[in-house]
A and B are shown apart, each in its own frame.
Chain A
């Protein structure tokens, strides 16, 4: 397989010069790209637990990448260079180094689209296949191989893929990890059925199949299946403002380190109903996952080599303290539901005022699945067995996560914009982070922006988290001054109070995370410099939102696209 791809690649390179010297070809070729560089200087910070030996001489971390894409008519070629010298705090140490982990060639004409090299792809909602990249999270599970997309008639599209996944800088060798192959077909019934375009009800059906191959380990005590297949079917129905989306996935037995080597098959079901019209939006989502971890290596326990994506069904919070206790899907099993309501109170009404008011509500609850013994002598999740039986629609006893939140957005007069929110959360920190018990927290946030004139504005963010568990209470304040569209200046502080006695006894300290930042934007280029301590989390300041790891010292970010 590798030799074939290498040959194909070399062929392209030899034929290319012929095209280069043809005038038409030169005049239509273009190169565009983007890059980002993040550098952090690490100071020893006793309180944060960062000592000289933790830093180990590596007092400067830097992650950077550059993407380049060349397009010419039906042909596209792209490459990405990445360097981690050394990887920033919070990024896996195995990223240390530099190279070209991503390169591809693509040819598209009419109904055919072929890619060789690295590619990102998603089937349906991703329940059996999703390869994607999140640079700021250090996540990249691209497939290196071939992808063919073909649309034989209007309304029908078919995809086929085969490849191996990225694993830091490790080249693929036959037993290092598995080979992934799959196919997906999607049918737009309104285009296929005669007269369908005129029908108000829109229906889309889809089906996918993914199989991974990994050689059995003859020294291992259990016989392991070398080919593990997964299937999924989906339907999307919409009419006017109402919509129903559902996908069901099934995976045959796949004993791995993640599920403790049980031979139970896996299932996932995602159902989402929504209704929206001008001024109102309502959604209700239900999800059940049962043994659906799907990786291209049986022994991998970290966040690498996932073939699929199991979407968490809770709100993705954006403010520092509301994102303190984030939920993550539990691939071995979970069952939950989520509801959201978005409502716009019009202008001129009592509650709407001059500009209108938006109210958003959300609720979600996720529990363990029901598990019962398969027979009297076998423990639940015992290695080498079928694991457990589970009643499909029953919620298990253990609560993993439950939250309720509302957010009100309102502009007073012409210059004062406000966002107020309140959140209540029950968080199973033992299941989600591996320590402690249940955390119960109440969080209040006020995000206020005052515009002095067309270009100058001042933003104040005040947040408060109240809890008797974990680290205790948190208070956060940020003041940001913007000179649109180019400059921003910000100072912020997050501090911890009322730490529970048990935590103090084991060395916990009530800390102060102060930070000062400034930045400049010109077109697509952005430079930002900050100094201070940062807690790990999602940070939205100076015009953009990004995931940041914990640090103490200076941070420099440069990004651009051309």
Chain B
């Protein structure tokens, strides 16, 4: 088994060599099935915002910094939406211990985000999230153009600067 895995790794490296020659390709969102708060299946390929930017935020009810970030954004979310039409999709990685408490938690904090449940971290793994909070920005075409881990007070200002650029059609790479 080890030999086969090593062979596969060598193949990966070769594939990498081929892909390096190409121009920077677009990084499309992985297509993974997650759940709505009502328990219905939702595929991440359906995350869209009519050509406007999308913020995807991985969070959990037990992650104090995630809650602080989403509270900070909630204070200015209305203004952000008016100015750029941006949408924030909050992906909760709470497992079966907390998943039924997620929507009451969200509503009890007056958040207006689109919330989905990734109870066994399928989307988290596909997106290579290491720790929460983890934020991803999608441009109008649904391509991943920026990612960031951790949150500190005022970090949402930098996030909004990037959202404004995306809304204006600029490239932020």
Contact = CB atoms under 8 A, between A and B. Distances in A.
Contacts of B22: 26-27
B65 interface: yes
B18 A26 contact: yes
A317 B61 CA distance: 9
A51 interface: no
Interface residues of B, number: 74
Given A27-B25, A278-B110, A360-B108, A79 B9 contact: yes
Given A309-B96, A344-B109, A100 B128 contact: no
Given A108-B31, A279-B107, A125 B96 contact: yes
A187 to B, nearest CB: 11
Contacts of B31: 108
Contacts of A385: none
A417 B109 contact: no
Contacts, number: 260
A340 B40 CA distance: 23
B110 A9 contact: no
A561 interface: yes
Contact of B75 (A77, A355, A451, A546): A355
B100 A285 contact: yes
Given A34-B128, A279-B107, A488-B152, A318 B97 contact: no
A524 B33 CA distance: 24
A538 B132 CA distance: 13
A544 B131 CA distance: 7
A457 B107 contact: no
A274 B147 contact: no
Contact of A272 (B12, B100, B153): B100
Given A132-B121, A274-B100, A523-B147, A281 B107 contact: yes
B167 interface: no
Contacts of A10: 4
Contact of B108 (A28, A342, A560): A342
Nearest to B18: A26
12 contacts: A103-B8, A122-B120, A126-B120, A204-B39, A274-B100, A417-B68, A484-B152, A538-B62, A540-B63, A543-B155, A561-B129, A561-B130
Interface of A: 6, 9-10, 13, 16, 20, 26-34, 36, 67-71, 77, 79, 99-100, 103, 108, 120-122, 125-126, 130, 132-133, 157, 171, 186, 188, 190, 202, 204, 236, 238, 241, 243, 245, 270, 272, 274-283, 285, 309, 311-313, 316-319, 340-344, 346, 355-356, 358, 360, 409, 411, 417, 419, 447, 449, 451, 453-457, 459, 482-485, 488, 521, 523-526, 538, 540, 542-546, 559-562
Interface of B: 1-2, 4-5, 7-9, 11-12, 14-16, 18-19, 22, 25, 27, 30-31, 37-41, 60-66, 68, 71, 75, 95-98, 100-101, 103-110, 119-122, 125-134, 146-155, 157-158
